[in-house]
Amino acid sequence: MPFDRKIKIAPSILSADFADFGREIQAIEAEGCDWVHVDVMDGHFVPNLTFGPPLLKAIRPHIKTVMDVHLMIAPVDPYIDAFAGAGADILTAHLEAGPHIHRTLQAIRGAGCKAGLALNPGTGLDAVAHLLDMVDLVCVMTVNPGFGGQKFIHSQIDKVCTLRSMIGDRPIHIEIDGGMTPDTAPLMAAAGADVFVAGSGVFKGGSVAKPEVYGDNIRAIRKAAEAAL
């Protein structure tokens, strides 16, 4: 995973057809996505329940790009090795999910994955300054975590602007998760983000039988984001 700040689109398979993940992943990759985003939820840290390590292991052979795994779980540490072993390239843990996030980030890197740090909309950046040398990605939630299809929270634009300044020339991606469309992606690209997670924004209207819709949606988000740079 060589680092660059080019715009990347990471469709969330939370919005895909659960009965056909293999072909859904193949379709979005063929239509030009950069990463495949997997939302792991435990029904405890967030009010939804999704995927575990066996599912990740099952879909890993279908992913030829990057498996970007967002752990919306608490505690995180006991499960890092299992998700890393299932094939995650990036493991992102929430700042709010435990008392020892520095230890968690160390463990993620120790397991051979890139380390991501996620922030809920109500979380500020004060603690992030002390963690930047431990992370490869910061994921700013622009919806409250737990469910797809929510509306974009505009207050996070200023947060991303500040975060971009804090990061400076460090090789750290800024990922945006929530409400990404051709209307909202350019706002975050202009603020400094480079990775855009989109669930319904990519999958809406398409299917394995109509993958060209996925491609149209991916290209529309990418074009809008790039135009803002």
pLDDT digits (tens, 9 = 90+) for 203-226: 999 999 999 999 999 999 999 999
Q: Which of 42, 89, 177, 194 is catalytic?
A: 177
- How do strand 67-72 and strand 90-94 relate by DSSP bridges? parallel
Share of the chain above pLDDT 70, in %: 99
- Let me know if 126 is a catalytic residue: no
Annotated active-site residue in 39, 68, 136, 194? 39
Residue 42 falls in the annotated catalytic set: no
Where does the chain have alpha helices with state H? 21-30, 53-59, 80-85, 101-110, 156-167, 185-191, 200-203, 211-227
- Whether the Cβ atoms of residue 78 and residue 13 lie closer than 8 Å to each other: no
- In this prediction the pTM is 0.96
